[in-house]
Amino acid sequence: MYKLPTLLVLFLIITTAFVSTEAAAGPYPYQKPGSKDPLTEDLQFRLQTLGYFNGPITGNFGNITTGALKRFQKYNGLVPDGVVGPMTWRKLKKLTVYRGELSMMARVIYSEARGESFKGQVAVGAVILNRRLSPLFPNTIRSVIFEPKAFSAVNDGQYWLLPDQTAFQAARAAIKGWDPTGNALFYYNPKVSKSSWFKTLSFTKQIGNHQFYV
């Protein structure tokens, strides 16, 4: 009987937990200050990613979290009431990812571009996010990454390598809005791939060994 590798099993368990949390969150899970739960941890992580929350992630929706949320709301033209209603939640989801998705992005970046410059690694992360927002692709990070034949590293198993800190930093930089690709949806390495599919696309940038297209 075939057995999954231990690391793969652990990753699937962790990923499932994150997905369950995301699904349970519903349209806007954070009602008001005073709560203490994993959903508030997710809120703190998202605010921390954007630079509004600088404290430790505790899951406690206290004054520091409320202040960070109000700053986020004010900067993004929302009512700064410190409560995550539908409009605030939609904006947060558009601009951020949850922790499980950050790990997934870091795995793709590491496995696809660990030999590239930091800018080149951010570029791969940006493509993942651009696909999430495009009607041509699925609308979640996980679905984008695991779409059949979307990333060669997923196909050949390199995705399961443990990413380094640079890959995580590159993922965070992409999430914060750095897109050095010119809104690209595709990339490939002409030194490795001999495919001609790119000829039907519009070239945007060359970053390191990768050419980017939209």
- Domain residue limits, the chain: 6-95, 99-213
d(CA 153, CA 108): 7
Indicate the CATH number for domain 99-213.
1.10.10.2520
Which pLDDT belongs to residue 39?
A: 86
pLDDT band at 33 (very low <50, low <70, confident <90, very high): confident
Retrieve residue 185's tokens.
Answer: 């949806």
pLDDT of res. 194: 76
Taking the model in full, what pTM does it have?
Answer: 0.78
Which helix (H) or strand (E) segment is 211 a member of? strand 210-213
Fold of 6-95: Muramoyl-pentapeptide Carboxypeptidase; domain 1 (1.10.101)
Q: Which of 14, 61, 12, 58 is nearest to 33 (CA)?
A: 61
On whether the CB atoms of residues 17 and 99 are closer than 8 A, the answer is: no
Residue with more model confidence, 2 or 151 = 151
State phi, psi for 60 to the nearest 5 degrees. -100, 115
Given a contact cutoff of 8 angstroms between Cβ atoms, the answer to whether 210 and 187 are in contact is yes
